[in-house]
Amino acid sequence: MSVEIRRVALDHPDARALIARVQEFYAERYGGADDDPMDPAEFAAPAGAFYVGYLDGAPVVTGAWRRIDVPRLGATSTAEIKRMYVADEARGRGLARRMLAHLEDATRAAGFEALLLSTGLRQPEAIALYLSAGYLAVEGFGHYAGQELNRCYGKLLA
């Protein structure tokens, strides 16, 4: 299995295609797309980054981060994970874990103290991944803070 993770712009065709697929996934699980606003500038250096992972040349996994500086876990310099997604045909191969490790390495290298994320109760696979990777429940933040299905997690990067 050959996986290559490339940094791309949010509007790159492969990124757009996989974002459309994750929005369909959200609609299936939650009854609608994710309406958290995402400004492309938030995912451009140095404020953030968007990545697509290619399995044998085919785009199958995404992950991104953006600066948010929401204090959690005793850290003030924080980034947020966005758009973690693995295409159906590539699931079960450890690609989400590889992308998560890549995002952790990238944000650590960018000087952040902690990485935060928001997910939902209807994504138990994602929650299991984050918990197994050392993420801890944190106080809600962001667009969905306080909503019944929302759960937030964080991890110190030091």
pLDDT value at position 137?
98
Structure tokens at 49: 């980054």
Q: How far apart are CA 100 and CA 63, in angstroms?
A: 7
CA 50 to chain centre: 9
Domain residue limits at 101: 3-156
1 pLDDT exceeds 80? no
Q: Could you give the C-alpha distances from 33 to 24, 25, 29, 93, in angstroms and in order?
A: 7, 8, 9, 26
Q: How far apart are CA 118 and CA 141, in angstroms?
A: 8
Number of domains in the chain: 1
* pLDDT cut 70: percent of the chain above it: 100
* Domain at 88, CATH number: 3.40.630.30
DSSP 77: S
How confident is the model over 63-98, as pLDDT tens digits? Answer: 999 999 999 999 999 999 999 999 999 999 999 999
How confident is the model over 94-115, as pLDDT tens digits? Answer: 999 999 999 999 999 999 999 9
How confident is the model over 125-144, as pLDDT tens digits? Answer: 999 999 999 999 999 999 89
pLDDT value at position 47?
94
The whole-model pTM stands at: 0.96
Please work out, in degrees rounded to the nearest 5, the angle formed at the alpha carbon of residue 156 by the alpha carbons of 26 and 79.
Answer: 50
Confidence of residue 158 (pLDDT cuts 50, 70, 90): confident
Strand segments (E) across the chain: 3-8, 48-55, 58-67, 78-86, 114-120, 136-137, 150-156
